[in-house]
Amino acid sequence: MKFNTKTIHGGQEHDKAYGSVMPPIYQTSTYAQSTPGGHKGYEYSRTHNPTRNALENAFASIENGKYGLAFGSGLAAIDAIIKLLKPGDEVISTNDLYGGTYRLFTKVFEGFGIKFHFIGMENASNIEDYVNENTKLIWVETPTNPMMNIIDVKAASNIAKRHNILLAVDNTFATPYLQQPIDLGADIVMHSATKYLGGHSDVVMGALVVKDKELADKLYFIQNASGAVCGPQDSFLVLRGIKTLHIRMQRHCENGKAVAEYLASHPKIAKVYWPGFENHPNHKIAKNQMKDFGGMISFTTKGNNYNEAIRIVENLKIFTLAESLGGVESLAGHPASMTHASIPKEEREKTGVVDSLIRLSVGIEDAEDLIADLAQAIG
């Protein structure tokens, strides 16, 4: 099955009871048993739920993995991965990443004795310098949030395999429409399904996909033991969202290109961060590992100050000033005070998250309207 067909049919079967084309929303916490242990495969909805399982099978299919797991948020999915580790273990992570991920790593898991190295991975060979006998996980986000750095997943995977370390890739910005990290050698693919997979800004959810049975069993154990699962209604919504992922992403990419090019030509704009530009430092790697360049863009103005950035995001009318991304509607954010506020100023400024940075999630409206909105807001 090719990708577009998988978004609609991957891992799906018609409901056995009445043939319903979409799985029913099994809004139940528990399942009748005829005798203790005598059940039809479902005991309790933290462990399994048929609607969630249908979604988990879809996750596995679109990411070319074998096993999918759905969680109550993207961070809950990341939390499950880090719970594979023990005190004393070390993680090598990208230094530019979602602020909430950084907060989870530093404010929660460092307290449990796990050590994190945040490093620039634009040159993936840098990873090797931080590997030691305690290194158990490499954490890659690509494109990174919000600087749109591109990390070579295959190169990271070669290092991981050489040292017997797990490689996890946060594929939230790219989605499997653009890149499939398991095919590039990743062990775990993670998503904030809140974003493009759901696609309609109406659900908070996380996803993991793996290929290896032993790793899947460990993660299923954590999913059930820690219990950060999503409900059946949300599972249904994300399953519905995935069915249009390919056509939404195609438009996100087209509009992203139009907006990025407009911003790059604007006399008041200083820098535009988008991997589709030939002068993006890792454009070649992006071209190799991604099918297109997506609809996420960050930029700074020549004025280079906080007040100007705030004025622009407040003036936007079609773009909504909001956290999150990946929905059909265009959103704008100010990372320094919103999504990345939990990263200390000195740390975030090192990676480029300065006070004048604005991040756009370009939606699937008419590009002309989006450009006109930016034009009036920038002034």
User: Which residues contribute to the site for ligand P1T (CB under 6 A)?
Assistant: 73-75, 98, 100-101, 141, 145, 170, 172-173, 192, 194, 204, 206, 323-325, 333, 339
Active site residue 136: no
Least separation in angstroms between CB 55 and ligand P1T: 15
Please indicate whether residue 83 is annotated as part of the active site: no
Cβ distance 63 to 246 under 8 Å? no
The DSSP symbol for 335 reads T
Q: Which of 152, 170, 234, 355 is catalytic?
A: 170
Catalytic residue among 26, 98, 177, 273: 98
Which of 289, 262, 265 has the alpha carbon at shortest distance from 275?
A: 289
Q: Are 116 and 93 in contact (CB under 8 A)?
A: yes
Is the C-alpha dihedral spanning 158, 140, 126, 358 positive or negative? positive
Among all residues, whose Cβ is closest to ligand P1T?
Answer: 74
Q: Whole-number minimum distance, CB 32 to ligand P1T, in Å?
A: 33
Cα–Cα distance, 159 to 121 (Å, whole number): 12
- Compute the distance between CA of residue 235 and CA of residue 229 in angstroms, rounded to an integer: 10
Indicate the residue among 136 and 359 with the shorter CB distance to ligand P1T: 359
> Shortest approach of ligand P1T to residue 24 CB, angstroms?
25
- Residue (6 or 191) nearer to ligand P1T, CB: 191
52 tagged catalytic: no
Closest contact distance (angstroms) between CB of 209 and ligand P1T is 15
Phi, psi torsion values for 235, nearest 5 degrees: -60, -45
Which residue, 50 or 309, has its beta carbon nearer to ligand P1T? 309
**CB-wise, 12 or 259, nearer to ligand P1T?**
259
The least CB distance from residue 81 to ligand P1T, in Å, is 11
Sheet with 166-170, strands from edge to edge, namely: 67-71, 206-210, 188-192, 166-170, 135-141, 90-94, 115-119
Of residues 135 and 194, the one with the C-beta less far from ligand P1T: 194
How far apart (Å, rounded) are the C-alpha atoms in residues 71 and 74?
A: 7
Compute the radius of gyration of the chain from its Cα atoms.
21
How far, CA to CA in Å, does 371 sit from each of 137, 161, 332? 41, 44, 13
98 is a catalytic site residue: yes
Q: Quick one: 60 or 325, whose CB is closer to ligand P1T?
A: 325
* Catalytic option among 52, 83, 136, 195: 195
Closest approach, Cβ 115 to ligand P1T, in A, equals 21
Helix (H, G, I), strand (E, B) or coil at 287: helix
Least Cβ distance, residue 201 to ligand P1T (angstroms):
11
94's enclosing H/E stretch is strand 90-94
- If the CB atoms of residues 207 and 312 are measured against ligand P1T, the closer one turns out to be 207
CA distance 303 to 25: 51
Q: Is 121 left (phi over 0), alpha (psi -120 to 50) or beta?
A: alpha
Helix-strand-coil percent breakdown of the chain, rounded to 5? 40, 15, 45
Active-site annotation holder among 31, 42, 46, 115: 46
Residues acting as catalytic residues: 46, 98, 170, 195
